Structure 1
Amino acid sequence: MNSARISDLLKTRPKTSMYWGLYLALPNAGAKPDLGIAVAKKLAKRAVDRNRLKRMIREVVRTGTGLSQESDVVVKLKKPIGRDTRGRLRKQEQDVLRKQILGLI
């Protein structure tokens, strides 16, 4: 998904939870649906944690529902992670984030 399409989707009204925003739109005619993931460096300091979150989101969207087959989706992190653990993503927090994403989908 290119940056212009992501910015168009970010202008739509999201479904939100405490940490996530989920933006949906129907795919363009003839184009296959895409998944965009936005995890800002400001919100997840360590590259390891940003990559782990992105892998988790892809896994949840693929296995959780057929959502990615129906429409273009952008998932965006809204709040910083790891406040209690010096900026590191721990297993307990990762489980909470996974449940929130499943709740949005």
Structure 2
Amino acid sequence: MYWGLYSGDVANNANPDLGLAVAKKLVKRAVDRNRLKRMVRNLVWAAQSKGLNKDVVVKLKKPIGQQTRGRLRKKEKDFLRSRVAELI
């Protein structure tokens, strides 16, 4: 599993928060790290707008894109998008 998802209850009358952890050690290129963060952020915000009322922390656990020298292929992006959607 590439992603770890942790969630907790929201404090009284507070908006749900999001935490992301994508280590440089796991995804070498800053462009790819930022793209992953943006993708996860959009998925979680969409889930929170549809009724997910929890604080969420998403952490990348395994390196991605090793076969392509750190670059993410479309197939890998689609796979990660589906995995994050399943977690939420």
Instruction: Encode CA deviations 1:5-37: one digit per residue, 9 max, x unaligned.
Output: xxxxxxxxxxxxx10000000012232210111
Q: Which one of 14, 17, 42 corresponds to residue 34 of structure 1?
A: 17
Report sequence identity in percent. Answer: 63
Matched positions, count: 87
Residue 73 (structure 1) aligned with residue 50 (structure 2) = no
In the other structure, the counterpart of 2:86 is 103
1:61 shift after superposition: 1.5
Residue 89 (structure 1) aligned with residue 72 (structure 2) = yes
In the other structure, the counterpart of 1:53 is 36
- TM-score scaled to structure 2, two decimals? 0.90
Q: Which has the higher contact order (CA 8 A, sep 6+)?
A: 2
Q: Where do 5+ consecutive residues of structure 1 fail to align? A: 1-17
- TM-score scaled to structure 1, two decimals? 0.76
Describe the shift of the 1:36–1:68 C-alpha distance in structure 2 as closer, same or farther (beyond 3 A).
Answer: farther
RMSD between aligned residues: 1.5
Q: Where do 5+ consecutive residues of structure 2 fail to align? A: none
